[in-house]
Structure formats: structure tokens, C-alpha cells
Structure 1
């Protein structure tokens, strides 16, 4: 068995699982029907009618909340994504930001030893389309940072 699985490139655990399946096992992926997807699409449209800017994850959560309140079965987020994609309900991808042309090849040097420093920065997008950048640095001596117990 080991050599056959190796020759076929399949895992022995998978072969064992398939060989020992119950007789009433069925592949849930094969049970999809267009009517089931149409019903799910109607549920999704009902949930996102108030605010169509909901993404597939929030739409899925709302559908599952409604289904659990009615005693129904939950739906998989991947299925909601597929159904929303086929219906053209997915939100457009966010635009990618341009990277600056300036290269970051600098090095950090301190004036004396035993210094600890940190930095942070932020960018604010203005209404005019320009970006304002701010960078902050702080340094402190290590001698003041630690206290020794007697």
C-alpha cells in the first residue's frame, strides 16, 4: 500500500479514509443546486438592501444570524463569496497606493553609547490629494531606564 500511494502521489491517510467511509456518505459539494444558490442570493439581497456597501463577510454573518434565528443551517462564507461574485455584488478592490520614489537607504547613528531610541511616523491624506508625513523620534539614556535593587 505504501509503495502504491507513493507511486500515485497520494497520502495513505486519504486512501484509508476513502476505503473506510460509511455507505451513506455523500459529497456535500455535489449537492449544490441553482435553486439553492438562488435562495441564498435572495437572502443576501434582503440583508444588504439597506446598505449595499456590505462585503461578503458581513453579508454572510447577517444571513447566518437570520438562519440561526429561524432554526436553519449556517452557510459557508466561501459559498457566499461565490454567489455574490456570480451576481456582481462584490465590492471593488481598494486602489493600491503609490510608493514614493525616494529610496530608504539611510543608516542610524547615535552620538554616544548606551542610548535607547524609538521612532514612529504617520501620513495624512489631504482633500487636495497630497499626503502630509510626520516622523517622531525619542531617545533616552539606558542608565536612567533601569533601577538596581540593593
Structure 2
């Protein structure tokens, strides 16, 4: 199931999925860490305090969304195709997720262009009792393009 705002709908209607480059592949190849009911990218998890961290982030879903956040443009091989590579990463991520866990997941991809260039953020968390890191009912109020992908 996917939710997206009108800005993302325009992007989805006109993009070509890119090839997954080595920088993004490395994130998936490093795998996941399962810690106290949470799932983290191994690449970004430092083995910190899940309980303490979750208190600072509004719960374990918030902690996962913070730890599992990265800028796609920092890991792409072809900077002219950031969004296409983000979508290729999403597809590969979903396959990897399903092969590693039976948990439901929520993936968030935001995209914006600024004077600094393209900014595309990927993040995820385990889906717990429909507890989403963001309110999809207000997704159209966001300034950036936003996609929420639920993995079931």
C-alpha cells in the first residue's frame, strides 16, 4: 500500500527507475540489526541504548525513523538520477525486508529540489499497530514530495 501527496504523484507519473548503484547496494548488503524489537540498517546502527533513545524520539518507531534515515544523494553513483535510484532502492529494500523478517514495515521517501540541489531522504521503521512516524492524512500539507510505502 502506498500513500503520496500531489507533488509525489507528479514525480511518480514521469520518472524512470534508475539502476541501483554500488553506494546504495552497500547499505542493503550490510544487512539489518535486530535489537529489542527494533530493526536498523547495520550501516547506521551504533549499538546504542534502544530504551533511552526511544524516549527521546517519541517511541521506538521514532527512534527507528531517526536512525534509519539517510540522504540518497550521498550514496548515488549517478547524481543526475537521484529520484530514480531512490525508487530502485525502495524496490530492493522491500525485497530484502521480506526475506529477513515477517514484520510489517513503513518506508518514507521525501524529495525536494533547492539551491543546494536534489534532496531525497529515505527512512523506515517497523509498523506497529498502524503507528506511523508521520500522519498520512496530512501528507498534502507537506512542502516536499512524500511517499509512504507500507510493506505487508
Superposed pair shares fold, TM > 0.5 = no
Of structures 1 and 2, the one scoring higher in RCO (CA 8 A, sep 6+) is 2
Structure with the greater alpha carbon radius of gyration: 1
Please identify which structure carries the higher strand content: 2
